Structure 1
Amino acid sequence: MTHSVSVDIVSDLVCPWCWLGKRHWDQARKLTADIKVETVWRPYQLDPTLAREGRPYKDYMREKFSGAEASGRWKAMRDHLEQAGPAAGIDFRFDDIAMRPNTLDAHRLMRWAGGQGRTAEMAEALFSAFFAQGRDIGDRDTLAALAGDAGLDSAVTADLLATDKDEKAVWEEELFYRKLGVSGVPTYIFNGRFAVSGAQEPAVLADAIRQAVKEPAETE
């Protein structure tokens, strides 16, 4: 009997490694096209303390990576991402980012996209908007427009964003994964049995999918 594979991808929409990880995941799926995989995107806020209106990006990063050692670490990471991006079809434009947004609303949007089977499209739209276009994905008008780009109803999305719908659900889901021990993203959880962390290469993720076939979820 061939078991299907369930994969939870825990991520944040302002994590550059998560966009790289998504592109690697897309490639891994092509390498394992013969295996049925259900992918579910899960919320994780890298900075849940950030004000809902966000902060100027340069100020935020300067504070986060203050000191020579931290600054050097960020530069090395940024250089690596800018070099690795093109191979995955990504053009990171960090200098064009104006705001570091709070991502709670973006995660609500991902949740609604999931209800319509559009999470892959929604994630791609959000990552691209933030990292390649310098758009503020904490701004609700921007989010409503991006929802339309991903195949959702932008007017309905705008109305929902004006409420607190699913805020509590997003917080609770994030807390669940934090309690599981997720402390960095992206994290891929296969059949609820084992996890792979980081923006691993497509071949590594493909191997994990094949391994998950041999380790089905306990409910199966």
Structure 2
Amino acid sequence: MTLDVFADIACPWCYIGEARLAAALDARPHLGVERRWRPFQLQPGLPREGAPREPFFEQKFGGADAMSAAFDHVTRAGREAGLAFRFDRLAGAPNTTDAHRLVLLGATYDRAFETADALFEGYFSDGRDLNDAEDFVAIAEHAGLPAADARALLGDDRFEADVRRSQEIAAQSGISGVPLYLFDGQFALSGAQPVEAFVQALDRAAEAGMEDAAGAP
């Protein structure tokens, strides 16, 4: 079974969804699911160096009080999923092009989702700046990737075309928000759903796959 995960590293609900999906996969270890990271940028127009924290998020949420309320809501949901959100440490609003490129580099080591998890944790829990070279390399090392490869990635354009293409595919498919999970290219689940919803979706995809196999000539 293939599971395409459209997500953005700067999306807190993508982080929560990743944790809930991981729990669902642990509950169905026999399915042999192949997860594939599909880059999606919620803010593709941000400068490459990102944007300052307060002006960006206050404008996004409509003021400081609304921003604080949104952060508190995510923090509570994250705690239930075993995640520590520290929005007081948030470095700012990052341009996630390089973060996505790092996940795709991680995929070449069969560590795409370990890399995504390290980026999520670095950004939302540890206050790492995803657009800072030293923080970027430190996250890569935490994910088990060679530091030299991460530094080299910052000096070239590897995977940039893949990031753009994934964004185009999402737009063509009508995907306007993330997280979104596409099961075997047949049906999608949107949002950071409860673990039970992910388990049901996995079971549904497995049943559909068996039906297709049974009907094949």
TM-score, length-normalised on structure 2?
0.92
Bigger proportion of residues as helix? 2
- Give the alignment's Cα RMSD to 1 decimal: 1.9
Q: Which residue of 1 aligns with 2:59?
A: 63
Q: CA offset at residue 75 of structure 1?
A: 4.1
Q: Which residue of 2 aligns with 1:140?
A: 133
Secondary structure of the 1:122 match is: helix
Q: Which residue of 1 aligns with 2:122?
A: 129
Partners in 1 of 2:71 and 2:140 — Cα distance?
A: 28
Counterpart amino acid of residue 49 in structure 2: E
Alpha-carbon deviations, 1:2-23, whole Å to 9, x = none? xxx1100100001000110010
Residue 18 in structure 1 maps to residue 14 in structure 2 = yes
- The answer as to whether partners of 1:7 and 1:189 remain within 8 angstroms in 2 is yes
- The answer as to whether partners of 2:8 and 2:96 remain within 8 angstroms in 1 is yes
Q: 109, 112, 118: which is aligned to 1:116?
A: 109
Partners in 2 of 1:127 and 1:147 — Cα distance?
A: 12
Partners in 1 of 2:32 and 2:86 — Cα distance?
A: 35
* 1:41-80 alignment runs, 5 A limit: 41-66=37-62, 72=66, 74-80=67-73
Q: CA offset at residue 67 of structure 1?
A: 5.4
Residue 35 in structure 1 maps to residue 36 in structure 2 = no
Counterpart amino acid of residue 106 in structure 2: A
Counterpart amino acid of residue 79 in structure 1: D
- The answer as to whether partners of 1:24 and 1:201 remain within 8 angstroms in 2 is yes
Q: Give the count of matched residue pairs.
A: 213
Q: 98, 105, 118: which is aligned to 1:105?
A: 98
Q: CA offset at residue 77 of structure 1?
A: 3.1
- The answer as to whether partners of 1:58 and 1:98 remain within 8 angstroms in 2 is no
Give the percent of matched residue pairs that are identical in Structure 1 and Structure 2: 39
Q: Which residue of 1 aligns with 2:174?
A: 181
Secondary structure of the 1:196 match is: strand
TM-score, length-normalised on structure 1?
0.91
Secondary structure of the 1:120 match is: helix
Partners in 2 of 1:60 and 1:13 — Cα distance?
A: 16
Secondary structure of the 1:136 match is: coil
